Amino acid sequence: MLTLTLILLPIIAGLLTLSTKGENAKVIALVAALVELALGAYTFFAFVPDATSQFGVSYNWIASAGIKFSVGIDGISLILVSLTTLVVPFIILSTFQNNYEKASTFYSLILFMQAGLVGVFTAKDAFLFYFFFEAALIPIYFIAAIWGGENRIKVTFKFFVYTIFGSLFMLLALVYLYIKTPTHSSEITALYETARLLDASQQGFIFWAFFIAFAIKMPLFPFHTWQPDTYVEAPTAGTMLLSGIMLKMGTYGLIRLLLPIAPLGVKAWGTVAVILAIIGIVYGSIIAIQQKDMKRLIAYSSFAHVGLMAAGIFSSNLDGIQGSLIQMLAHGINVVGLFFIVEIIQQRTKSRELSSLGGITQTTPQLTVFFIIIMLGSVALPLTNGFVGEFLLLKGVFEYNAWMGAVAGLTIILGAVYMLRLVQKSMFGTTTSLTEGFEDLGLTERATLLPIAVLVIVLGIAPNIILKASEPAVSQLLSIINK
């Protein structure tokens, strides 16, 4: 029942928030998110590190078709559920300085999206996975379309079309697998067994259907063209949801569905996927270096980070997949902190242009310290949360192919270049007319950034907290893939 509670609580709280007017809406949303965080923390520490699914429930949903409402948490989904419950309170708290029109609708949509995300990461039935995969898209569409920037309608429509188009490929693959399943079951474990009945060409079809769906969601090169504009035009809270959590639906889908269901397809086409991912790493990093807008720079940096995660996943070894899981958690924490800092700077200066900024450190010791800590986590400095994941990912890609690992390793250099440039251009140098008298952090801003900075350091010092929880499930997954 614990998993079901984690899904239902945000829905109930979202309905309550929707019926509340005024400033109370954000308070109710924050309280609900903190309760969800407490449940997520209890789940994490109550979880027994083994390969079994725990805290699950299963009910007949469409009994005549063998489709169940079946949810549970194993070591892989535990990391993503923890990320979702951890990051949403920060996202809500970061908005407390803003006054949104129709605030009750805004905050209820965040909570509804949280429920959809938890559903994706805990679904044990493939069609239930698809249902939550699509359901999580609806709230973020309205958040971006209603509260986004000047070009929000055009950009959001492009995002919606891209993701719906990709999801149709996944639905087609799931229906095909369902038909091929001897018992006509849509349990994900049943689909793993069905994969053994498919030949290489059939698994090749399954590979590309899943790959397109998940590559668009992450996104991977060349399916990324919706991402930068959507990240820039969405309100900052929406951008945090997209980059911090939603893109992980794609990487999680690769691990949960694509690798174990189409191992022959991965064997045939995995190298192509790794090459596309590595192109994304280098391309995204180079474009990030050239950006003048802070928000767009971080958007391209996120695109580059996702490429490394995908390359590690397709390496199909323990280090690569373990590295991707801890990097999903680290990236989610770091990117939320970075986008919030950009929001703080934009609110005070009315600009995100690096050429218009500078000298902020002279009056903001607190903001400077938090910005540098989170930036160092993003560039994977040893003893920060980004280091362990990036090290394991590169090790996994090197084990897969040394030349590809060498090219992927350029992320270390290129990432340092664009992130150091971001901090230098915005925070150091001469004060401009826009940054003169820049105020340091307020109470809610400190309350948001302090825990993020602490997590950057704690997860860098003690990564085994995460790795030990996920390793049995990852090992079992690899045994299924290599069977």
pLDDT digits (tens, 9 = 90+) for 279-304: 999 999 999 998 888 999 999 998 89
**How many CB atoms are closer than 10 A to CB 450?**
14
Residues 254-268 as b/e (b if ≥16 CB within 10 A, e otherwise) read bbbbbbbbbbbbbee
Dihedral class, residue 274 (left if φ above 0, else alpha if ψ from -120 to 50, else beta):
alpha
Distance CA 364, CA 183 (A): 63
DSSP three-state, residue 234: coil
Of 268, 276, 176, nearest in space to 224 by CA: 276
pLDDT of 364: 86
Of 68, 66, 69, 72, nearest in space to 185 by CA: 66
pLDDT of 272: 93
Mean pLDDT per block of 10 residues along the chain (483 residues) reads 91 90 84 94 89 83 80 92 94 86 88 94 92 90 83 81 86 88 82 84 91 90 83 88 90 93 90 93 91 90 91 92 94 93 90 85 90 92 91 92 89 89 87 82 90 94 91 90 78
pLDDT of 330: 93
pLDDT of 38: 95
The residues with which 252 forms a beta bridge, in sequence order, are: none
pLDDT of 18: 87
pLDDT of 162: 83
pLDDT of 337: 93
Peptide bond before 222: cis, by omega within 30 degrees of 0? yes
Of 110, 104, 99, nearest in space to 33 by CA: 110
Q: What is the DSSP letter of 68?
A: E
| Residue 291, C-beta contacts closer than 8 angstroms, at least 6 positions apart | 297, 300, 418
Residue whose pair of structure tokens reads 């893109």 in the numeric block? 247
Q: What is the DSSP letter of 57?
A: E
* CB-count exposure of residue 248 (10 Å: 0-12, 13-18, 19+): buried
Residue 230 to residues 99, 240, 351, 481, Cα–Cα distance (Å)? 21, 11, 18, 35
Secondary element (H or E) of residue 100: none
